[in-house]
Structure 1
Amino acid sequence: MNDIGAVPNGRSGSQFSHSGSQDEARRNVVPIIYTRGTHYEIGFDIGRTFAKMIQDFVHRYRPLNEVYLSVYNTEPGRKVYEETLECVKKQYPQYVREMEGTADGSEVPFYKLFLMHIDDIMPNVAANGLQGNTNAVGCSSIICNQPGQEILGHNEDALRETMNHWYLVDAHIIELGYQEEKFTSLSYAGFLPGYTMGYNHHGLVYSINTLSAKTLRSGRTPRYFMTRALLGVENYVQAQECLRNEGYGAAEGFSVNMTFLDQEGDRMFHNAEVGPVEVGEMSSQLSMQTASPGENLFHCNKYLRLKVAEVEGLIIDSSIHRMQAINRHSPPKNRKEIMEILSDQTDDDFRVYQDIRPDDYVKTIATGIFDCIAKTWSIYTDKPNTNEPVVVLPLQLKDTNSIFYRK
C-alpha cells in the first residue's frame, strides 16, 4: 500500500525563489511517499509514483549521459559493471529487487539505474584510476552535542539537475526471509534510499558526506548499497559492521554522521570515515570519531583522519573552503547558530549554502535539522536562517505493539 503527499510551506506569492525555468528554479515542496510491502513492491511503488520525475532525471543526469553510458559500452567498463552487480547480488539481493521494482514502476531500464548507483567506480577503474569525481559536489554536516541542544544539521548538495528531483521515502518493508525495515530517507529520483539523510525506527539518525578517493575498486560494494543497508541497523555495533562490510569492503569512499536516539547513557554522536578496501584486504577502511556531551563535530567532503589518497579538483577545494567558513563561526551551541552556519555564503568561490547563480554546477537542494531531544526532523528547501521548514517530521521509533512487530 502507498500514499503520497506534497507539503507546501504556505508562503504567498511565487513558489520560485529566483528567476529561471520552473524545472531549474528552487521549488518549496517536499514530495513524500508512504509505502509498505516487499522490497520489490516498495521499489515498484516508488517508481510508479515518481515515474515522470525519475524519467526526467535520468534523461538530464550529466554523469550518466556524458560518461557512464559511453564507458559501459566498452569491454573494460562492462567488466566492472558485471563484477560489481554480482557483488551486490551476493550480499544484498533484496536491494537489487528494490531497484528492479523502481525500474519496472518508472519504465526506466535497470542498467541505467544501476550505472547511476556505481557512479564513478566504472570510469575510474576502467581508466586505471585516472578518472574520478573532481566536481564540487558533496555535503556539509554539523554535529552539536551541547546541554539541551543535541542536533545534527546537514546541507544536501548535489548536481544542479538534482534540484526538484528528489523525494522522501517512508517505507515499511515486510518480506519473508528478511529483517523488517522501517525508515524515512531523502532520496534522489531513481536511487535507492539511504545515501543522503534520514532515520530508522531503531532510532538511527544520520547524514552522509561524499568522499572522493583517487582509486576505486571493481567487484566491491558501492556506497549506495552500503548506506541502504545502514537503514536496517539496530545499534552502533551493527552500524560499524555494516560499514566494514567484511568479506567485500567498500568500492569507494564516504562519511557517515550518526547517533541512536534510544542509546543508554549520555548522548553520543559519531562520524565514520569509510575508505575503499585496500588491495589484498576484505573489508573497508574505517575510522570512527565520537562527539561526547559538550563537543561539536563538522564534516564536509575531505578525509580528516583516514590516510586515503584523494582526487584533485573542485570537490577538495570546495570542502576546504567550506570547512574554513564553518570554522570562522563560533562553535555552535544551539539550533539557531547551526542554521546560521549552514546558511553561510561568505566565501567568494565555494559557499556552505551553495546557491548564488542560476547556473551553479552544484546546488544545496535541501537542509535537514535533526533535533534529538524533540525527536523531530525539519526539512528546509531554502536557506534555513531566513526561511521556515517546509515540513517537520516526528522521528517515530519502533512500536512493539504493532501487529507487524516480530522478534
Structure 2
Amino acid sequence: MADDGWASMAGRPPAGTDLDDRLRPLDRYCWELTDGLREAGRAVDQNPDAITDHLGLPVIDFETQCTLPPQYRTPNGHPAGILAAGASQLGRVITGERFGYGDPGVLLAAPGPTLSGLAVQALADAEQRRRYYERIAAGPTWTFFGLTEPRKGSAAIELETALTPDADGGFVLTGEKRYVGTAARAQIGVVFCRRAPGPWGIEAVLLDTSSPGFEAELLPMVGLRGARISRIRLAGVPVEPAQILGRQRPPSRRGLYGALHVLHRGRLGLAAMAMGIAQAAADYVRQNRPNLPGQARWRLDEVDERIAVLRRLVHRAAADVDRAVVNVHRIGAVKLRAAELGEEATMLAADLLGPASLVEHPWLEKVYRDARAFEFMEGTGGIHRLSVFQGLIKGDFLAPLSPAAATENAGA
C-alpha cells in the first residue's frame, strides 16, 4: 500500500508523546488492526450501507469492546490488558488517532455505543445500563446521540424538543433533531429534551427507533459519508418514566450534566481523529514525493512539528480527564486546533502534489473532503474560540478544574 502513504507510518511511534508501558502496546496493537481500513473507507464513502460488508474487520470489534463495560466484553482474541488501556480517555485518544489515520469514516459508520454510551455511563441507573449494554453486546447495534437542533445548534440549555406528560403517567416526546450521526440506521439512542424551564429542566431519554412517531432520514453529505448524518423528527413519541436516564438523580446531575460529559470527551476523540487525518496527509506527500525541494520540504516539516505539539496537548487533556480533572477551555482549544490542522494538512498535500492532485490521487481527494467535517462536529470553531476567550478572562484556561467547576463553567 505504498502508494497511499501507509507504509511510512508502520512501526513508528507517534512524535510528541511519552507513552508508558501500558499504552505503548496499545498503540502498536491499534496500528496492527488498521490493515484493510482504507479499502473499507473507500467502499463506505461510495455507499455508506457498505459498512455491513466490513463488520468482520478486527478494528470494528476492538472499538466496540473498548467502549463496553468489562462485564459485557467478549475479548474475541484481543488482549485483556490492551482492551483495558483502550477504555481510558487517553486510550480513546490513542486509538482515535491511529484509526483516524486509517479512515475515520469507517469508525463513525460502525455499530457500537459511541456517544450515546457516554451518556449512559454518566447518567443511567443499574437497570438502564443493563438493558442498554445487553442490547449492544447481543450483536451489531447502531446508536445515536440526539442533541443538536435546527434553530439552536448544540446549545444544550436552549433546547426546544419537549417532553410533556400524558394522561397515563408517561410522557410524549415532540421536536426535531438535526445533524445526528447514524440516526437513519440506528436501533437505539439518547435524545436530549426539555421537561421544565431552565438548565435543570433538561432530560436525557433512552429511545428505541422503532417507537411510533420516531422518524429519521439521511442528509446529503460531501465528506465522512459513513457517519450517516441524519435528521430526526419526533412526533409524539411515547416515553415511559423508566426511559428517562438518571431519573433518581438531582436535576443538576441529569440532562445538562450528561450532555456536557459527552461533549467534553467526544471532542477529544474527534481531535484525535483529525490529527490522524493530518498525519496521514503529511505522510502521503512524503511517500509520493520523497524528493521535495527545500521550501516545500520546510512547509511539510512544519506541519509535522505542529502535529507533534498538538498531540502532546491532546494527550495531556485526555490524561487530565482520566484523573477527573476537566478543563473545558483547553479541551475546546485542542479540538479547534486539530480541526484546523486537518484542513491545513490536506490543503498543503493538494498543493505540494500539483494542480491535478485531487484528480490523480483518489485517496487524497477523499480525505480532503473528510477533513472539513471536523470543523462542525461537537461545536464549531467559533464556539471553541469563545470558550478559550472565556477561560483566559476567568483565569481558568491554564488552571485545572474539578468536574463540578467544569460543569458550571460550561453551562454558564
Q: TM-score scaled by structure 1? A: 0.27
Structure ranking higher in strand proportion: 1
Structure ranking higher in helix proportion: 2
Answer with 1 or 2: which has the greater Rg. Answer: 2
Q: TM-score scaled by structure 2? A: 0.26
